Structure 1
């Protein structure tokens, strides 16, 4: 299971618990007990980082974890001791990822060569294991160009008015965009576009207030 930090998750197995089991225990990793329950008795929660953030549902054995954190990532174990004293163990992997922060495209180099434009753009998110996808007018660029740095020569045949970098992980994605005019002139960024829109809305509003 993969989830985003701050969410709530339910860890469960794909089959029903044995009837009238003697004891069940949820572990974080191989040996840290989270909660233990004797059959027919209230669960006992151990003094760990999970205390106050977990709830065991009986009789299903589902473990709910609230407001998960990156450090909650692990392979959880559910151990069930039968009345016959045989023990059965299930493994439940959990990976918790932080949302991807907004990336920012940086222009490393632009060079105009015979009405063509050589571009080197970088797009990096610090301290994140993310995938990068670059888009232009006609959609995503070929797989060979999909990394944190985009190097491309723009011609009349493949000219793009904008370049968008999308940083993503399995739970979220964010993007940034630069706009160009032929052949190599930066027109605006997505941030500048937002400021322009804000001014278009706010200036008439302010003028209206001043005239009242």
Structure 2
């Protein structure tokens, strides 16, 4: 299960039987969150105490999840027969990615050939970078925050976009070139948790 920080999540086991005497949700093997027994739910002292509840289908609901809540949760069930069963369900919580900003590290024109070095590094290890030239993917990966290209008037792109993303959000920044080495405008937008983020346009001048 993946979730964006600040949202509410429900951890549920689909094939859970009903013939049990006790049910326990744990954050880790040694930290209990809550326990159900004799139709009564007991909340243990933990960081979850005011942020969890047990639903009618015995799903664990967690409110206002944070990155620190990421873990492999355990559901431990004691059946009427005395047999104990255990399920594991993983939760990963991500913060929305920040707005990237393309910086021109190098822009050099020699004999009508333009050498460009663009960067948009974000201080987050869980981010994937994807570079586009005229909407065509040029490079991608967790360390691809730098784009180095050599272009001329025949093969240059009129725009270069840096997209930063994680499993729950994506944002990008675009620079436009009127000529291979002549900068025009910038344009930024993105999404968080399935919702469009407001667009931002700005003139950056001609370099």
TM range (shorter): 0.7 to 0.9
Aligned to 2:201: 194
Query: Compared with structure 1, are the counterparts of its residues 75 and 138 closer, same or farther at alpha carbon in structure 2 (3 Å cutoff)?
Result: closer
Give the match for residue 49 of structure 1: 47
2:191 alignment partner in structure 1: none
Q: Which runs of 5+ in 2 are unaligned?
A: 189-199
Which whole-Å CA distance do the structure 2 matches of 1:9 and 1:37 have between them?
A: 19
Cα displacement string for residues 151-207 of structure 1 (whole angstroms, at most 9, x for unaligned residues): 01112332111111000001100111111221312223237x7346xxxxxxxxxxx
Any runs of at least 4 consecutive aligned residues in structure 1 with deviations exceeding 4 A, and if so which? none
Deviations for 1:54-101, whole angstroms, at most 9, x for unmatched residues? Answer: 11013x211111111000000000000112221000001000000000
Q: Choose 92-101 or 109-118, whichever is displaced more.
A: 109-118
Out of 54, 60, 64, the position equivalent to 1:63 is 60
Match of 1:181, SS? strand
Q: Which range moved further: 174-183 or 90-99?
A: 174-183
TM alignment of 1:133-172, pairs within 5 A: 133-142=130-139, 147-172=144-169
SS of the counterpart of 1:88? strand
TM-score (norm 1): 0.84
- Greater fraction strand: 2
C-alpha distance in 2 between matches for 1:188 and 1:70: 35
Distance across 2 between alignment mates of 1:45 and 1:75: 19
Q: Does 1:25 align with 2:24?
A: yes
In the alignment, the residues of structure 1 paired with residue 160 and residue 107 of structure 2 have an alpha-carbon distance, to the nearest angstrom, of 13
Please list the CA deviations of residues 105-139 of structure 1 after superposition, one character each: whole Å capped at 9, or x if unmatched. 11111111221211001111113420011112152
| RMSD, aligned α-carbons | 1.8
Match of 1:207 in 2: none
TM-score of the superposed pair, with normalisation by structure 2:
0.86
Contact 1:180 1:188 in 2 (8 A): yes
- Report the Cα distance in structure 2 between the residues aligned to 1:138 and 1:53, rounded to whole angstroms: 43
